[in-house]
Amino acid sequence: MKTITYWKAINEALDEMMEKDPSVFVMGEDVAIYGGAYGVTRGLYEKYGEERIRDTAISEAAIVGAGIGSAMTGMRPVVEIMYVDFMGIAMDQLNNQAAKVRYMFGGKTTVPLVIRTEGGAGRTLGAHHSQSLESWFIHIPGIKVVMPSTPYDAKGLLKESILDNNPVVYIEHKMLYGTKGEVPEEDYTIPLGKADVKRKGKDITIVAYSRSLLRSLDAAKELEKEGIDVEVVDPRTLLPLDIGTISDSVKKTHRVLVVSEDCKTGGTGAEIGMQIMENCFDYLDAPVVRLAGADVPMPKSPVLEKLAIPDKDDIIKKVKEILG
């Protein structure tokens, strides 16, 4: 094992897949010479050249559209949309083309396309650059949605996403790029649609992903000092959702808190919570509880931004409320 940063894990995944398969290439705004808005693609342009690390025009619709076309003709493109906030500009390409092509052609073509983007708050970038919009994408049949929380997951899930013959929306959190974790030296992938129990416990289950997962683990450590044993489950893939692993945990602890940064109304937590109700109702000793972002445009003010998304203290308080 080696210890690397989250951004480096993604960079290594791209490098290893490009070295192994000449059909893999990367394109997006500033991904080549500049190395990506958050430096994730640094060094790849120098190694693979402009044919396989391509800077594009500032047009999200064109980037995703070109990705779909190249995927349908035998390539495995990894396209980068600089901020998830800009995905709305490419939603026709994603929702009406990428997600539906395989179905509408009766399986005669596939779209092995990965759309890398980043989301989440924490850098006080304001309402246009700080949103958590993953719930938009889990509503689209025909795509997969991945949100890794650790370098290990980031690398393994990205490699598996590139190998998948379906379009994958792969969302990185802008506040995780500098976080560190252990990653195997040898080649590995992580199956899509498989959750991971990050911490075992018996009193309550917390289901969380991306940065909320790390905050939940921190909260669990604090709660342990007070004799509260928390199990933490990371879905890793939001679509398809591994409700089996989540249900197994809830059936053991009988209480559950779902934590996310996206808006509470119609958010990912609502979907996860409803699936828990459908699968675990008879095992619950308390209602399913959501802890999510506020239903507000993300504030520019650092103080207000902090109030708009759940932190460790919010998680601790909510767990204690559930346990009574």
Identify the CA nearest to 173 among candidates 103, 235, 118, 237: 118
Distance of CA 150 to the CA centre of its chain: 10
**CA angle, 107 then 112 then 65, to 5°:** 100
Name beta bridge partners: 208.
Answer: 259
Task: Report DSSP letters for 159-200, one per residue.
Answer: HHHHH-SS-EEEEEETTTTT-EEEE-SS-----TT--EEEE-
Distance of CA 16 to the CA centre of its chain: 21
What pLDDT sits at residue 131? 97
Q: Which of 129, 172, 231, 261 is catalytic?
A: 129
The backbone torsions φ and ψ at residue 7, rounded to the nearest 5 degrees and listed phi first, read -65, -40
What pLDDT sits at residue 32? 97
Task: Please confirm, yes or no, whether 129 is among the known catalytic residues.
Answer: yes
Pairing of the two strands 144-146 and 76-81: unpaired
- Residue spans in the chain of domains classed CATH 3.40.50.920: 196-323
Identify the CA nearest to 235 among candidates 153, 159, 320, 132: 153
Measured CA to CA, the distance from residue 211 to residue 37 in angstroms comes to 19
The backbone torsions φ and ψ at residue 290, rounded to the nearest 5 degrees and listed phi first, read -105, 140
Are 35 and 48 in contact by the 8 Å Cβ rule? The answer is no
Measured CA to CA, the distance from residue 289 to residue 285 in angstroms comes to 12
- Those residues of the chain that have pLDDT short of 70 are none
What pLDDT sits at residue 316? 98
Task: Please confirm, yes or no, whether 60 is among the known catalytic residues.
Answer: yes
Are 232 and 220 in contact by the 8 Å Cβ rule? The answer is yes
**CA angle, 125 then 307 then 259, to 5°:** 95
Q: Which of 12, 29, 60, 118 is catalytic?
A: 60
Measured CA to CA, the distance from residue 191 to residue 236 in angstroms comes to 10
What pLDDT sits at residue 60? 97
Q: What digits encode the pLDDT tens for the residues 217-271?
A: 999 999 999 999 999 999 999 999 999 999 999 999 999 999 999 999 999 999 9
Measured CA to CA, the distance from residue 276 to residue 252 in angstroms comes to 13
Identify the CA nearest to 209 among candidates 177, 176, 236, 179: 236
Measured CA to CA, the distance from residue 306 to residue 300 in angstroms comes to 10
Identify the CA nearest to 206 among candidates 268, 289, 119, 135: 289
User: 196-323 in CATH: which number?
Assistant: 3.40.50.920
What pLDDT sits at residue 99? 98
- Residue spans in the chain of domains classed CATH 3.40.50.970: 2-183
User: 2-183 in CATH: which number?
Assistant: 3.40.50.970
DSSP secondary-structure letter at 308?
Answer: H
Name beta bridge partners: 289.
Answer: 257
Q: Does the pTM exceed 0.85? A: yes
What pLDDT sits at residue 172? 98
